[in-house]
A = this chain, B = another copy of it.
């Protein structure tokens, strides 16, 4: 992990104004505390470059760009040279996106969710919409959990079964003899995860 960032001071451009209009606004830079990169070095009104954000959340720059294209994140402002400048809120946002992904939502699912939040007439309504999604995802997640637990048990059973193969099977026995192998005391018939591997 080479930490070779060294010189960072960006000129900020007010949202809505053109880059040219702010061409002589380097004073703004200090006001906005826009020292960048090496996130840990700065702690106050820090702004992040896209690469900093990406590193911080463990995604690539391309991914962040994609999320922006889809309307999932937004740079708070741009530098004079059109660099995206993110606030720390973006960290929260992108981590949120990542969590939703791991809950099984696609990026367009998330897009819809974001739209729903933005279009909500009131905070209460937004909260209701969010609730609906989360309730559904909770159910799904619990489903997945029990599926995974079942798979875990099957894997464990299969490994026990295969251990018997290891310790009791003659080295030269052909694979074809496995289905009828009689050396498995605990379980007479192999687990599906083992049986399936034997079948033609």
Using a CB–CB cutoff of 8 Å, the interface residues on chain A facing chain B are 74, 76, 89-90, 92-93, 95-97, 99-100, 102-103, 113-114, 117-118, 120, 122-124, 126-128, 130-131, 134-135, 137-138, 141-142, 144-145, 147-149, 151-152, 154-156, 158-159, 162-163, 165-166, 169-175, 177-178, 181, 192-200
- Least distance between A104 CB and chain B CB atoms (Å): 10
Main secondary structure of the interface of A (DSSP, over half): helix
Given A123-B174, A134-B158: A148 and B148 interface contact (C-beta under 8 Å): yes
- New A-B pairs, 9, CB < 8 Å, besides A100-B193, A117-B197, A134-B155: A89-B199, A90-B199, A95-B192, A96-B195, A99-B154, A124-B169, A128-B166, A138-B156, A148-B148
Would A141 and B148 count as touching, CB distance under 8 A?
Answer: yes
Would B130 and A197 count as touching, CB distance under 8 A?
Answer: yes
Q: How far, in whole Å, are A108 and B69 apart by their CA atoms in the complex? A: 32
- Least distance between A172 CB and chain B CB atoms (Å): 6
A175 contacts across to B, CB distance below 8 A? 117-118, 120, 122-123, 126
Q: How far, in whole Å, are A114 and B19 apart by their CA atoms in the complex? A: 59
Residue among B131, B135, B151, B195 making CB contact with A166, cutoff 8 Å: B131
Would B152 and A135 count as touching, CB distance under 8 A?
Answer: no
Would B135 and A171 count as touching, CB distance under 8 A?
Answer: no
Would B151 and A102 count as touching, CB distance under 8 A?
Answer: yes
A113 contacts across to B, CB distance below 8 A? 197
Residue among B138, B154, B192 making CB contact with A92, cutoff 8 Å: B192
A117 contacts across to B, CB distance below 8 A? 175, 197-198
